[in-house]
Structure 1
Amino acid sequence: MEFSSRIDLDRRSGGRWAALNPLTWLGELSETRYWMYLLLLPSAAMLVAVVLYPTLYGFDLSFRQYRLTRPDLGTGYVGLMHYKRILTDAVFWLSLYNTMIWVTLSIVLEFLLGLLAALALHRNLPGTRVFAVMILLPFFLPNVVAGHMWSLMLDSRMGVINDVLVNIGLLDSYKAWFVSPVTAMGTAIIVEAWHSFPFFTLLILAGLKGIPQDLYKAAQIDGASGFSQLRLITLPMLKTVIAAAVILRVIGLVNSPDLLLILTGGGPGRSTQVLSLYAFQTAYRDFNFGYGGALAVVMFLILMIFAWAYIRISKVNRD
């Protein structure tokens, strides 16, 4: 009698412990519709910690007085003071203009070089694989490495590019490319295009692989030239890929001041001063994090407006 009662007690205790067992609880939860939310919870937490919180903190910082060189001013809220200052800041408007020049010319040059390289690689001619590796090499280099490498190659005293141009007669003497306001921006754009055009090459090449070859065969039968096939078939079929690549590169160019920081530092004068470099120098050279945060927020809004407008114009969302 005592033995049987002990067995019943153990069964009841085992049932209670099973209900409290985390594995049992998870097993029961996996049979409900709440299981997917539990699986998404780690990713959502990472997204909040890595993306949402820093973004909101940056917006909050733009409304504060936060100058490490003036601790007497405190860190309180100042409302729209920084944004009002932006409206009358001549350096901001010059940086905005330089950013438009920097982004537009870089994107055009990168797209043209990327398109030519992708079309060449798509033909699968002998030596294509070696050529593909050579094209991708610049993209593998960090911006810091590429910037210092080109800075040495374009050096006005011992740069190899100056030496070649002088020897072939294109220059009379060595030229300081990043000292003159006339050549500084153009030279930096060429360096940026050399470094980043493989990004367009990869995306366009992937898009070319998805175009049906029957379209080109039909066009050849109708007597369409190679340029007509490019204009009427290739580019329209690559519209989605090109739009995505342009948006990503614009975001990258606007947000990355490292190459210009290495090559020119925003000079000479302010001829190569762009918004990202101005925000970076305001925050980490002048230690004015409040105003630097406001500049970053303005850049964020400009990029959001650009992305929305470009998608609407290209009608990608209707395809």
Structure 2
Amino acid sequence: MDVVVFGATGYLGSHAVEQLMIAGHKVKCVVRPRSDIDFLKSISADIHVVDFENSDLASVIEKGCCVLNCTADTRMHLSDLQRSKVEIDLTSHIFNVAAAAGAKRFIQLSTVMLYGFDRPDHAIDEQYPPNPKYSYSRIAARRERVLLDLAEASPMELIILRPSNTLGKRDTSALPAILPLLEKGGFPVIGGGEWRYSNADARDVGRAFAHLVDLTIAGSEIYLMKGYDISWLDLKAAIDNILGRKSRVFNLPRGLALVLGGVMEFVFPFGSSPPLTRFMAETLSSNTLFDDSKIRSTGFLPKYDLHETLIDALGEKSLH
């Protein structure tokens, strides 16, 4: 199927494009005028530069195609209004344009963070009710509700994918935040680091999108996706093994991390990038486990384990 990807220069969007191309789909990458398209050029992607605010998006969407939306404002410190401009307003606009253009299917990149942090210690599935606490989670949950409502009145099929935490090349958050301290021999954790969470290789997220493009569905569907379950200390041990050196655990108590995050949110204005927020502190100090049996039952299986993920993500740093 022809696939039109919005947000193709983003972290997971770029992996989606790469894996869709590997799977043999004809992919059209829709990017903003000032986007960094170096990676897309390196894989000979079909790039269409579009001004989202002033251009007719229908010109890049053909009847019967699949539209994959990976657009997102990934900044952690935003007001609900600021975050809604991309997550809600732009997403709704792309959906409506795609439906009017006769697209067959709309696939939306979502997040497991919409479940909030009031969750059990065991793995939860798609039926567990979202309980968002912070802006990032609230707007993600609202985006899904808006899309599901739009899909009710549209002949276009809707699939929402909620990937677990991810690691991979072109990541701008997880590993880049850890590496500076790792270079000095430390590994940062909050609340001891024994918290377990579901993780995935970014390439497997891209593979999941490629799988969902052709999947037969009845009505709107939501899928969780993960690769493996680990703890932050498991991640530390794996990185130590790959880099060939033993790092020291730098532990920040959970209560102190939440207080510091709250102070930084107050001091830093919306739109800036505080080194820590309460959302970040809870993400790093909560069990975050998911059951992705639903997507696996359709025939999708992740390909990469933690070691393979880190070898690829760390690149030259892994060659010790």
TM-score (norm 2): 0.19
More helix as a share of residues: 1
Greater C-alpha radius of gyration: 1
TM-score (norm 1): 0.19
More strand as a share of residues: 2
Structure with higher RCO (Cα < 8 A, 6+ apart): 1
